[in-house]
Amino acid sequence: MSDHAQQSISDIELLHSIARGDELALASLYDRYSSILLGLLLRILHNRPEAEDVLQEVFLQVWRRAADFDEARGRGFTWLVTLTRSRAIDRLRALGSRERATTAAMREAPEEIGDAGDDVLRSEQAEVVRRALAEIPEEQRRALMLAYYEGLTQSEIAAKLNQPLGTVKTRMRSGLIKLRELLSEQMKSARTWI
C-alpha cells in the first residue's frame, strides 16, 4: 500500500501543482470532480444558483489553499468533499429559515439515494456507494442523510424525528458502520471487474 494508491496519486499531484499555481492542474481537478460536487451541493442546497455559487467558491478556495492539503491526513477527494459539504452547510445556515422552510418539503421528498437511472454522469464508484446505501436499513440511512445533507446535529435530528437522542445516535453510528462494511464487501466483488 505504498504511498497510497487510493489517494489517487494524480489527485495528490494535481493538488501539489495547484499549490504551485498551475492552472492546468486546477482545470483537471475541476473537470474530474465538479459534477460530483455540484450534485452534492444541489442535494444540500436545493437551489441551482446557490449551488453553483458555492461550487465556484469551493474551487477558488482549492486554488488559494491547496497548500493546506496534507496528503498524510486524508485523500484529496475526501478533502474536497469535506470542504464542499462544510461550505454548503454554512451557506444553508446563512440562507436562513425562510428559504429553508420553502425548500424543506423538497429536501424531505427526494429519496435518499440519487436516481442512478438517468444520471449519465454517474461513475462506477457512485454505483458502488449507491448499492451499499440501498442496503442500509431505512431508519439508519435517514439519520445519516439528515446529518450529512441537512447539516443537522444529533439533537436536531432527534427533535425532527421525534425520537430519543440515544436512538438517533445509535442509528447514525450503526448506519455508518454498515456503510463501511458494505463498501468493503462491494469492493470484494468489484475486484473481479478490475
Partner 1 sequence: MKHEEYIDLLTADALGALDAIERRELEAHLASCAECRAEADVWREVAATLAYAAPSVAPPAALRERLFEQIKTQPPISRAEAVTKTEADSENSALPKPTNVVALDAEREKRRGGVLVGKPLLLVGSLAASIAIAALAITLAMAWAQNKELQAQLARATGNTRQTEQDLRQTEQELAALRAERDLLAAPASRTVTLAGTEVAAAAQARLIYDQQTGRAVLVAANLPPVPAGKAYQLWFIADDKPLPGGLFTTDASGHAELRETIPPAGRRAQLFAITLEPQSGSPAPTSSIYLKGAVS
Residue 74's Cα: distance from chain center in Å?
Answer: 15
Element (H, E) at 109: none
* Position 92 contacts partner 1 (CB under 8 A): no
- The residue type of 91 is R
* Position 139 contacts partner 1 (CB under 8 A): no
The smaller minimum CB distance to partner 1, of residues 72 and 105, is found at 72
* Position 140 contacts partner 1 (CB under 8 A): no
Site for partner 1 in 24-53 (CB under 8 A): 26-27, 30, 32, 34-40, 42-43, 52
Alpha-carbon distance of 73 to 57, in angstroms, equals 23
User: What is the smallest separation between the CB atom of 105 and partner 1, expressed in angstroms?
Assistant: 18
Binding mask 149-188 for partner 1 (x = CB under 8 A): x-xxxxx-x-----------x--xx--xx-xxx-xx-xx-
| Per-residue cell: 150 | 441537512
Site for partner 1 in 111-130 (CB under 8 A): 112-116, 119, 121-126, 128-130
Distances (CA, A) of 192 to 5, 105, 159, 179, 188: 18, 42, 44, 21, 8
User: What is the smallest separation between the CB atom of 163 and partner 1, expressed in angstroms?
Assistant: 14
The smaller minimum CB distance to partner 1, of residues 71 and 99, is found at 71
Q: Which of 84, 91, 140, 142 binds partner 1 (CB under 8 A)?
A: 84
User: What is the smallest separation between the CB atom of 96 and partner 1, expressed in angstroms?
Assistant: 19
The string of DSSP codes covering 125-188 is HHHHHHHHHHHS-HHHHHHHHHHHHH---HHHHHHHHT--HHHHHHHHHHHHHHHHHHHHHHHH
* Position 94 contacts partner 1 (CB under 8 A): no
Q: Are 175 and 141 contacting, i.e. CB atoms less than 8 angstroms apart?
A: yes
